[in-house]
Amino acid sequence: MALLELRDVHTYYGNIHALKGLNLTVEPGEIVTLIGANGAGKSTTLKTISGLLRPRQGEIWFDGDRLDSVSAHEIVARGISQAPEGRRIFPRMSVRENLEMGAFQRSKGAEMDADFERVYTLFPRLKERLGQNGGTLSGGEQQMLAIGRALMARPKLLLLDEPSMGLAPILVEQIFDIIKDINAAGTTVLLVEQNALMALGIAGRGYILQTGEIVLQDRADRLIVNPEVQKAYLGG
């Protein structure tokens, strides 16, 4: 059984039909990437999964339960957390306080202390800046903080929205290495990313989204060599 399944999902912004019958699955332990141009509906897909937008039609299933009528905070409690596009950290709160916000639904204890240590191991730079306000961090550090905050919810499924946006190439490689480490430790990942080459390089499968519709899906290694994908997204 898939960990996540979207069945004929239609999402609107007012009268604008943003997602047009989306069908998508993510199996336990996978990294799946969703690729498309600006305005294709990638972020809308993640917002619909996380309950920030409600589909007008279709079903969303996660870990055997239907989610499309569940509140956003309850979806987090059930095991889905998101590092959003643009990071959206709390700029006047310290690094430590930002991380604590990711665990706001959990009670303090040894388990949560272990998760702090996990984040510090993945992102040693954050441990060096625990008392520093989030807004004073560099772009790369803020991205690390956004991912770390999402991990503090101890998700079964981590949604990542454009984690490479605005980062220098060396930091992009670092972030993607960390995503692989997160997945290897047991967290399933659904990755939205405009850097298609990097995304397909770490994903097992990929979906190509155009104007709210899935136009192609395949194993990542096949998508990389697909002529149409190369032409449209890989600069081939």
Q: How far apart are alpha carbons 103 and 155 in whole angstroms? A: 10
| Coil, helix or strand at residue 112 | helix
Residue 106 neighbours by CB under 8 Å, 6+ apart: 112, 152, 153, 154
Per-residue pLDDT tens listing for the chain (236 residues):
899 999 999 999 999 999 999 999 999 999 999 999 888 999 999 999 999 999 999 999 999 999 999 999 999 999 999 998 877 888 899 999 989 888 877 666 667 788 888 899 999 989 998 898 988 988 888 988 999 999 998 999 999 999 988 888 888 888 899 999 999 999 999 999 988 999 999 999 999 999 999 999 999 999 999 999 999 888 76
- Domains of the chain in start order, with CATH, are 4-79+155-233 (3.40.50.300), 91-149 (no CATH)
80 φ, ψ (degrees, to nearest 5): -120, 125
> pTM to 2 decimals?
0.92
Handedness of CA 6, 26, 54, 211 (dihedral sign): negative
